[in-house]
Chains A and B, each alone.
Chain A
Amino acid sequence: MSDIWHVGPTNNWRNLHWLPASYNGARFHVEASSRESGRRIVEHEFPKKDIPYAEDMGRHAREFTIRAYCITYQRDDDDLFTIDYTVPRDALMNALEAEGPGVLQLNTQPSQEVVVTRYRMTEEERFGGYCTFDITFLEYGLDPLLDPNSSVLTSTAVAQAAQALRDQVQRTLAPPDPSIGTGLPTSNGTTSI
């Protein structure tokens, strides 16, 4: 008899891929995690035509919806498995409310840079020592004003441009090239007129 725990030839997905879930270092248990994305498609339909055209406008921003929980444990093992469940709960809430993007590590997915748009922490009287978090993360991506491909430091570019201007000033103050008007190549290699 086999169940989902014992399917497969190696049965080791848990050992190979499973990582403890955390957001910016604050760990939590995951009850359910979902990831949402796709392509931003604009479907064009034309009058008197049978075939539409689906225009691809790029990838949707990834959205992660997590149901996480913190629960009391029988002994203090580490920062998540503790007797007092409010310690990891408070750490997670602080991390979720901190300014700026953070690194989200889910159990079976590679880490992502995300922001928190909303979270809901629920504690119920019937479930003492236990709280759930419903968290929505959005992909952080890139600031469009920061050019990731610029390999030249901006200050170096300024220094180079300033040097070019100085050189130009020196050229304007220098005597004209004697070859001007002769049709012969000038000292910097261009042909004068």
Chain B
Amino acid sequence: MKRADVNEAAPIIDRMLALLISFVPSKGPSGINVRTAVGDTRANARVLCTNDALGPSLDNCFVQARLAGVTWPQIEAVRLQVDGEPVTTLGGALVKNAGVRLCLATIAEIIAAATFVSRQDVDTTKATLLPPFQDAEEIAADEMDQATFQSLISLHGALTNHLVQTALPLPRMLQYQFYKVLPSLVMAYKLYDDASRCDELRAENKIVHPAFCPLQGEALSQ
């Protein structure tokens, strides 16, 4: 990269990784690899950009973040921030797009390993991920970057297929309404024939006090 490109690209990397590292605990053994990888990349951002050697270390930051348990909405926040960066130089655009694509790849990997409770869960995820992928695909198409476009499309396809297949066997969320205020234990017994699922009801409906559940709510169909 030329100096003008580096001047724009390095701060983008810095801001992106600063947000990424904010989702990891700042001390302690968990996330130690992320802190090392991110710190290293941020410190050497200018050198890495100048030498065109940014790829492996930036990729490693995202891999380590995923392994440290960063959730996909957090990565999506990083993607939104990177996507909003104004760029004027080629180098800036390159780094910005690379960041967005790495975010998408990481989100896909996190979702592939996630477990879903209900079909609504899966549908919401699918709907949330549609615009980011579409935007990235359009940018790649506009850049005439066929290889990236193809890999984005195939990732999007694989992810949608995975989500559809995952949703099929899952129970649906249904509305319920009781005639009076009941404890979650009784509700769980009436709904599922299984009082031990009361905590599930409580978590799903964000019930304040489990002895007095609201009349209406949502429960799984199975």
A139-180 contacts to B (CB < 8 Å): 143, 145-146, 154-175
B residues within 8 A CB of A170? Answer: 55-56, 59
- Could you tell me the dominant secondary structure of chain A's interface residues? helix
Given the known interface contacts A158-B108, A158-B109, the answer about A169 and B102 at a Cβ–Cβ threshold of 8 Å is yes
In the complex, what residue of chain A is closest to B153 when comparing beta carbons?
A: A161
A residues within 8 A CB of B154? Answer: 161, 164
The answer to whether A155 and B59 touch across the interface, beta carbons within 8 angstroms, is: no
Interface size class of B (residues with CB under 8 A): 35 or more
**Partner of A169 from B52, B101, B108, B113 at Cβ < 8 Å:** B101
Is B18 among interface residues, defined by CB-CB distance under 8 A?
no
Given the known interface contacts A146-B165, A154-B165, A165-B155, the answer about A159 and B112 at a Cβ–Cβ threshold of 8 Å is yes
The answer to whether A165 and B165 touch across the interface, beta carbons within 8 angstroms, is: no
A residues within 8 A CB of B101? Answer: 165-166, 168-169
Q: What CA separation (Å) do A71 and B161 show in the bound complex? A: 51
B residues within 8 A CB of A143? Answer: 168
Report the minimal beta-carbon distance from B188 to chain A, rounded to whole angstroms: 20
Report the minimal beta-carbon distance from B41 to chain A, rounded to whole angstroms: 12
In the complex, what residue of chain A is closest to B109 when comparing beta carbons?
A: A162
Is B215 among interface residues, defined by CB-CB distance under 8 A?
no
Stretch from B79-87, B143-151, B175-183, B193-201 forming part of the interface with A: B143-151
**Partner of B98 from A146, A157, A172, A175 at Cβ < 8 Å:** A172
The answer to whether A168 and B162 touch across the interface, beta carbons within 8 angstroms, is: no
The answer to whether A172 and B159 touch across the interface, beta carbons within 8 angstroms, is: no
The answer to whether B102 and A166 touch across the interface, beta carbons within 8 angstroms, is: yes
Given the known interface contacts A164-B155, A169-B101, A169-B105, the answer about A154 and B162 at a Cβ–Cβ threshold of 8 Å is yes
The answer to whether B98 and A158 touch across the interface, beta carbons within 8 angstroms, is: no
Given the known interface contacts A169-B101, A170-B55, the answer about A158 and B155 at a Cβ–Cβ threshold of 8 Å is yes
B residues within 8 A CB of A169? Answer: 55, 59, 98, 101-102, 105, 148
Is B104 among interface residues, defined by CB-CB distance under 8 A?
yes
Q: What CA separation (Å) do A164 and B108 show in the bound complex? A: 12
The answer to whether A165 and B104 touch across the interface, beta carbons within 8 angstroms, is: yes
Given the known interface contacts A154-B165, A172-B145, A173-B54, the answer about A166 and B158 at a Cβ–Cβ threshold of 8 Å is no
In the complex, what residue of chain A is closest to B101 when comparing beta carbons?
A: A169
The answer to whether A158 and B58 touch across the interface, beta carbons within 8 angstroms, is: no
B residues within 8 A CB of A146? Answer: 165, 168
Q: What CA separation (Å) do A160 and B157 show in the bound complex? A: 12
Q: What CA separation (Å) do A168 and B154 show in the bound complex? A: 12
Given pairs A159-B112, A173-B52, 12 additional interface contacts (CB within 8 A): A146-B168, A158-B108, A158-B112, A159-B109, A160-B158, A162-B155, A166-B62, A168-B147, A169-B59, A169-B102, A172-B94, A172-B97
Q: Closest 6 interchain pairs by CB?
A: A170-B55, A154-B162, A173-B55, A158-B112, A161-B155, A175-B52
